[in-house]
Structure 1
């Protein structure tokens, strides 16, 4: 599925969207939502956790959990 997000300005109750050159779909679904606060702050603890996980992965990329195994593990714990 191809998707992209773009914030556009509404003028006279109209918008104009220019699609990227490589967007190849003949039909699209359009969802209009009011733009939220343009500043999205990611909590520091979350950035730290992602950095830590990335470092662990880069040190040993073979030691990762298969997503299906991970989901089964969670399901079994419920």
Structure 2
């Protein structure tokens, strides 16, 4: 029995880059945006700009790691 791999992100049809191709990809982007909005509006992070910047960098690196792990690397014609 073979396990089919599901991809959350794939190559764009027009242009350069990758984008979400399933509901899991869209949910990942929504959670990422919600976390960035929370950090921007949270009082603790506003009082400590270093924590704000560090958390944004950590969230962005995590988002890129998820996108690369769930990216369809097949070539398009």
- With normalisation by structure 2, the TM-score equals 0.29
Higher strand share: 2
Higher helix share: 2
* Higher RCO (CA < 8 A, seq sep 6+): 2
